[in-house]
Amino acid sequence: MSSPPSLLPVTGIRWGTASAGIRRSKRDDIAILDCSPGTQTAVVFTQNRFQAAPVRLARMNLNKTSPRALIVNSGCANAGTGERGYRDAWRVCEAAARALGISAEEVLPFSTGVIGELLPVEAMVEAVEPCAGNLRADAWLDAAHAIMTTDTMPKGVSVRTELHGRAVTVTGIAKGAGMIRPDMATMLAFIATDASVRREVLDSCLRQAVARSFNRITVDGDTSTNDACVLLATGAAGHPEIARTDDAAYPQLAQAVQSAATALAHAIVRDAEGGTKFVEIAVSGGATEKDCLQVAYTVAHSPLVKTAFYASDANWGRILAAVGRAVVPTLDIQHVSIHINDQPIVHNGDVAPSYNEAAGQAVMAQEDLRVCIDLGAGDKREVIWTCDLSTEYVRINAEYRT
């Protein structure tokens, strides 16, 4: 994984960044997105019951009006802070609104960082003016840097497509490295396009993309209190509005957004806290999609499996055991087969005839692993992406607040 060298601007979208010194005094940690009038917005939020104050406020504002701005901070999640946290988030929205000449209800707030700590509101309000003062169309990478927490590098992607004969851009950024098992989106992701899309269609497009990207990754099995994914459409590309999902141009738009979301989701896994391996778990032959996902996540969340990946240890019995304990009542182990990359491991519930320790060790030493599990029970399939579990992950999270 490497930082994107540049990202394409999206007409009608500008980012500005500044430092409020929330965790590190010399690093930008606040970002404001300003969008042109008429921009359509779709958002999916975390399903965690302890939703952070900015999540609750963003939901309310989104239901009241069409957003004109987003304000994002890193370093403090403003979660578990009760009504004080809600009032603090509102004050930040008010400050952003004054700086941009809009109403506070037209601002959606997003926060990421330590849970249970109050926002340094005064410092943030003071930083809003310079943040709004340096809005630029080409500041996507600056914003990607500003929203980072334990990320080692910014995550961003740009995709180009054509709709109704007009060139269209999709650009997105995301942050996330730990506390990753989204139940709607990722830690934080912001995607924009200059396509012209009706809001209901944009919402369908986002939910479709999230279901097969951010909702198919896991680093450690933890769902954040602050997860959110935003999709904005400015309409500046100048093509006829996509008003229905059966519009001839909708599949191209959906594919472009899906591609951007998948690239960002993969980047999060590749930048996982302490991660050294990128692991795809593909489960096929399931009687239902739910069965496939049950098996995939049971394997992905097994500490024994994840530490074997980290050690490049061909201890394939850990994978077999995880498959066997997945909540799939109809599972018949005599029909289960497992491959890692091109190496057969298990065939019909027994060790594959061609398998030997040297071959297993060679495949496990690779940095990118594809674990293919065939349940032999049907025609359903699902794919998720995960990583290994290293000593560095333990160190990062043990020292997170120090």
Which element (helix H / strand E) includes 2? Answer: none
Residues sharing a CB contact under 8 Å with residue 160, sequence separation 6 or more, in sequence order: 8, 167, 168, 169, 170, 256
Measure the CA–CA gap between 273 and 234, rounded to whole angstroms: 34
Residues sharing a CB contact under 8 Å with residue 381, sequence separation 6 or more, in sequence order: 282, 283, 284, 285, 286, 289, 292
Task: Please report how the helices 289-300 and 303-311 are oriented relative to each other, as an axis angle in degrees rounded to 10.
Answer: 60
CB 222 within 8 Å of CB 48: no
Map residue 260 onto helix, strand or coil: helix
Q: Which amino acid is at 81?
A: T
Measure the CA–CA gap between 203 and 172, rounded to whole angstroms: 16
Neighbour-count burial of 217, counting CB atoms closer than 10 A to its CB (0-12 exposed, 13-18 middle, 19+ buried)? buried
Q: Count CB-CB contacts under 10 A for residue 246.
A: 8
What is the bridge-based pairing of β-strands 69-76 and 107-114? parallel
Query: Catalytic annotation on 391?
Result: no
Catalytic position from the list 39, 186, 225, 262: 186
CA 283 to chain centre: 21
What is the bridge-based pairing of β-strands 155-163 and 166-175? antiparallel
Residue 123 backbone phi and psi in degrees, to 5: -65, -40
The catalytic residue positions are 186
